[in-house]
Amino acid sequence: MNIAVFASGRGSNFCAIARAAKKNDLAGARISLLVCDNPRALVIRRAKEFKIKTLLALREDFYDKASFEHAIIQRLKADNIDLVVLAGFMRMLSADFVKTFRQRIMNIHPALLPAFKGSTAIRDAFIYGSKATGVTVHFVDALMDHGPIILQEAVKIGRKDTLPVLEEKIHKLEHKLYPEAIRLFAKGKLSVRGRKVLALTR
């Protein structure tokens, strides 16, 4: 099974997935392509270290969002991509893109959705004073941080935790849950009915 990982930054989840694939821990799935929209992103260098091809897709090179996404879709089809994995990709995909890969796009979010949506979820939970937050892996639909939940696990926020400590806890859990969700998909153990994921057997 061929995976395309979309990332815009450091690529820590990209590395966690790539390491799992290298250990043959993804039920035969592998990262075939990195799609990145930031030429200065550290994840590009990390992809080279794993000998994974990179598609650098810059929005400014295209007339509009539709043509930008069309070029990416054509490359995904050419590379026979079975699953799109969003790992810190800082662009929201259009409804047309999501429809093209319906129930074949995953995202990971550093909170227990539907709580604390958005790009500052860890900080928001910390400032709010929550006693717990967590990580959610979900299928992507046309709305932000929305769609059928695949895996979800909580992280306690200790009284003495600082924001960097909480961030480290969250990232550690992300690196565990994302490969697990991909493995379940590769094994054919995920079945979506409406907004629910059924037949989930670890």
The set of catalytic residues is 109
Of 184, 186, 157, whose CA–CA distance to 169 is shortest? 157
Secondary-structure percent of the chain, ordered helix, strand, coil, rounded to 5: 35, 25, 40
Question: In DSSP terms, which residues pair with 192 in a beta bridge?
Answer: 197
Based on the number of CB atoms within 10 Å of its own CB, is 1 exposed (0-12), middle (13-18) or buried (19 or more)?
middle
What is the rounded CA–CA span in Å between residue 189 and residue 23? 21
CB proximity list for 202: less than 8 A, separation 6 or greater: 180, 184
